[in-house]
Amino acid sequence: MLTKNRSSSKKLSKRRMMNRERMSLADSDPRIQEIVDSIVKISAGDFSVSLSPSPLRDEVDAIIVGIKAMSLRLEATYEALEQRVRQRTGLLEEARRDLEVLAFTDALTGLDNRAAILRKLDAHLVALGRGEPSAVLFLLDLDSFKHINDTQGHNAGDLVLKEVARRLKENIRPGDVAARLGGDEFAILAHTDIAVAESMGQRILNALHEPMNIGSSVITPGGSIGFSASTPSQHSEQWIEQADTAMYVAKRGNVTKVQRFEKYMLYERQHKARLSSELRIALERKEIYPIYQPIVSSATGEHVGVEALARWAHPSLGILPPSDFLPLATSAGLDHSLTARILSGALADLAQWRANRSVTEEFRMHINVTPSELSNLAFPDFVKSQLRDYQIPASSLAIELTENEYISGGNLELYSLRGLKSMGVRIYIDDFGAGYSAFGYLDKLPISGVKIDRSLITEIDTSAMQQSILRSVLDLGRACELDCIVEGVETQGQEAALRDIGATYFQGYLYGKPDLYIPPLNRS
């Protein structure tokens, strides 16, 4: 034990001696403390070392030179590292901005996308709560865009969307925002007063009505616009819903294609949503059925055919006209089912009338067909199978196309029209004179006749101008070897004037409103 204590005491004395020597060395050479201070600075990232070798050029000076060189190399290394960090940070920030642009930009048109416009609507509504002025949201939907895609191809459809975007940007003011919500639906956030919003919407719509040269085709898509002003306490989705509701009211209208939102429209939208959900079931239950309006010969007054018109016997709402459910069928993709139901029901009735000898062999059934049906390559075969099932000759069927919805001459439509014509089915352009009002396209299509729109005969018994116009239309029809059926005949004065002009076939309330049809030969 005594030996161990003596050993520990010797070690402690040795350490104390070494410390005294170090302290004595630092006191005798101040460079040692400078070296220590420099090392501390370097370890803290400060490379501004002020060490300089002394004239002695001894071992301490060698250490000083080494530390100085090390600090310079470390400073250069750290500077290069910081430069790379700054570059990478800049690249990351640029990438973040690019990603943000991609996240809030529509890739096809370059307009804001739905996420971007929602963000801006939210920002405006917050500002509105602070007392800033109200703004107006416009929603625009193109007319018959699906038809353009089906007949001209998706590349042509994309070009149409790009051109629409360009025209929107040209027709809004600085500070306003144009966006594509998706498909053929666009939005505009305009910092304007609601009192001038309708005129602004009409100006935008007029721009869309200018023809577009897309490849070798000229397309005029048109559109429907709904708009709504911002109000306190609403959120962006409510605002969009209001403008969207007004837009669909405009889309269903025949005259006003720019509509301001009114509260009653929400109820109507809910009503339409309910009908849309019930439409498929109604078709399965055959609640939708055809009624008929006669077509008569001006020479004999005999019924030469009927036009089939759809009605819906709704269980709780009663009999609904086609204006209440045809647009719903289109938006729900039920066009074919609806056409099939009416065609099947009409041919079944015609087969019964022919079997009872209630109508002549030449008696013809007219059926309205949508453009989407003609874009379906299977449609001619479907018509052929229906004619075969009911043992109806093809010459007893006439297909009617509405002029203001179809005159593009797309390849798929031409295929369907030629297929129907080759069977012997007759093709008529309905509402002729209400849209394109030209015979120029008729020689390019397999058309058998036209149905002259009622707007051309409203004053036919008193207006020399209308008589002159209609006479020219009839002469051109004869020159093209086309049947001409005059629609909307309601008075005997109109009938007499039309006979004098040389019209050969009439249709209108004078001869019967659309109803369940009893052939004349069956009437007691």
Rounded mean pLDDT, 411-427: 88
Tell me what the mean pLDDT of segment 256-266 comes to. Answer: 88
**164 in Cβ contact with 108 (< 8 Å):** no
User: Which of 14-18, 237-241, 332-336, 339-343 has the weakest average pLDDT?
Assistant: 14-18
pLDDT at residue 522 tops 70? no
Neighbours of 320 (CB within 10 A): 17
Amino acid identity, position 392: I
CB 409 within 8 A of CB 447: no
> What does the pLDDT look like over 438-461, one tens digit per residue?
556 666 778 899 999 888 898 999
pLDDT tens column, 462-518: 999 999 989 988 998 888 889 999 999 999 999 999 999 999 999 999 999 999 898
> What are the pLDDT digits (tens) for 365-393?
999 998 778 888 899 999 999 999 999 99
As a whole number, mean pLDDT of residues 325-329 equals: 85
Q: Please name the helix (run of DSSP H) or strand (run of DSSP E) that holds residue 515, with its range, or none.
A: none
Q: How far apart are CA 341 and CA 24, in angstroms?
A: 113
Query: What is the C-alpha to C-alpha distance for residues 380 and 371, in angstroms, rounded to an integer?
Result: 13
Q: Report the pLDDT averaged over residues 125-141.
A: 93
How far from each other are the two terminal CA atoms of the chain, in whole angstroms? 145
* One-character DSSP codes across 179-240: EEEETTEEEEEE-S-GGGHHHHHHHHHHHHTS-EEETTEEE---EEEEEEE--TT--HHHHH
Rounded to the nearest 10°, the torsion over CA 435, 441, 444, 449 is: 60
pLDDT band of 71, cuts 50, 70, 90 = confident
Q: Please say if the pLDDT value at position 228 is more than 80.
A: yes
- In the structure, what pLDDT confidence band is assigned to residue 521 with cuts at 50, 70 and 90? low
How far are the Cα atoms of 100, 157, 164, 166 from residue 169, in angstroms, in the given order? 21, 19, 9, 5
Alpha carbon distances (Å) from 102 to 114, 115, 116, 367, 457: 12, 11, 10, 48, 55
